[in-house]
């Protein structure tokens, strides 16, 4: 398959969110223009994004809401359950563990890991907190699909290396750090510090 831009995938997520809202309201069809207005983009962009994957609309009419929603779920790989482990049972890990958006979209948290002996054996919103020493063994045995890194910057690269070695192919990183991984491993970093500095820059440099 042709390489798809990151920005395109992100917009597909947005479109899907609106389509689900429309599904809930029982709307039958939607136009690229309507999706664009909601998502803060253009109708041409919407059509181009979809065109990478096929033709989902009817000329003169628009898109069938349920059909397009189904197609997008298929494209985004949301038809199946993804098994997620959270590494780090601190505040961020805890916030993630109880985040309802996970389950809702087919992401099941199967375990959490921490170094702190006081936390190990406890639970995070019902999820077992295990000793991080077991990380490799568990990953090799359970084959989770995605790991979420919710640990301080210092240890992040080392834990990522261990996860990669154990066979993990997708990582969501909350440590404020650039991480390096082989090209067959996808790493997405969410960095609050960076976003705040972006706001600081915007506030400082406007005419």
Partner DNA sequence: ACATGTGAACTGCTTCACAGCG
Partner DNA sequence: CGCTGTGAAGCAGTTCACATGT
- Binding footprint of a second copy on the chain (CB under 8 A): 1, 4, 6, 9-10, 12-14, 16-17, 38-40, 75-78, 82, 91-92, 94-96, 98-99, 101-102, 105-107, 145-146, 169-172, 176-178, 180, 184, 186, 188, 190-207
191 touches DNA (CB under 7 A): no
- What gap in Å lies between CA 190 and CA 172, rounded to an integer? 7
Using CA atoms, how far residue 64 sits from 30, 32, 67, in Å, is 7, 11, 5
196 touches DNA (CB under 7 A): no
Residues 40-59 that bind DNA (CB under 7 A): 41-45, 47-48, 50-51, 55-59
Residue 188 touches which of DNA, a second copy, none (CB < 5 to 8 A by kind)?
a second copy
**What are phi and psi for residue 99, nearest 5 degrees?**
-70, 120
Task: Give the nearer residue to DNA in terms of CB position, either 35 or 89.
Answer: 35
Residue 199 touches which of DNA, a second copy, none (CB < 5 to 8 A by kind)?
a second copy
**What are phi and psi for residue 47, nearest 5 degrees?**
-65, -40
7 touches DNA (CB under 7 A): yes
Query: Helix %, strand %, coil % for the chain, to 5?
Result: 50, 20, 35
Residue 196 and residue 172 in contact, taking contact as beta carbons nearer than 8 Å: no
- What gap in Å lies between CA 205 and CA 134, rounded to an integer? 48
Nearest CA to 20 among 59, 72, 61, 57?
72
Total residues binding DNA (CB under 7 A): 26
Residue 99 touches which of a second copy, DNA, none (CB < 5 to 8 A by kind)?
a second copy
Binding stretches for DNA (CB under 7 A): 3, 5-8, 31-33, 41-45, 47-48, 50-51, 55-63
């Amino acid at each position: 398959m042709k390489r798809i831009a990151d920005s395109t995938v992100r917009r597909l997520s947005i479109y899907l969110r609106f389509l689900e809202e429309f599904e809930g309201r029982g709307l039958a069809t939607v136009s690229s223009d309507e999706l664009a207005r909601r998502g803060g983009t253009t109708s041409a962009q919407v059509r181009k994004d979809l065109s990478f994957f096929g033709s989902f609309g009817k000329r003169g009419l628009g898109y069938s809401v349920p059909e397009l929603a189904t197609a997008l779920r298929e494209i985004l790989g949301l038809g199946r359950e993804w098994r997620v482990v959270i590494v780090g049972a601190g505040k961020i890990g805890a916030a993630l563990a109880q985040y309802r958006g996970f389950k809702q979209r087919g992401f099941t948290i199967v375990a959490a890991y921490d170094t702190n002996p006081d936390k190990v054996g406890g639970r995070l919103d019902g999820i077992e907190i295990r000793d991080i020493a077991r990380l490799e063994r568990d990953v090799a045995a359970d084959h989770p699909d995605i790991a979420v890194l919710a640990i301080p910057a210092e240890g992040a690269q080392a834990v990522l290396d261990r996860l990669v070695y154990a066979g993990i192919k997708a990582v969501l990183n909350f440590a404020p750090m650039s991480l390096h991984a082989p090209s067959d491993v996808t790493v997405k970093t969410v960095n609050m510090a960076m976003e705040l500095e972006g706001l600081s820059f915007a506030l400082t440099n406007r005419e």
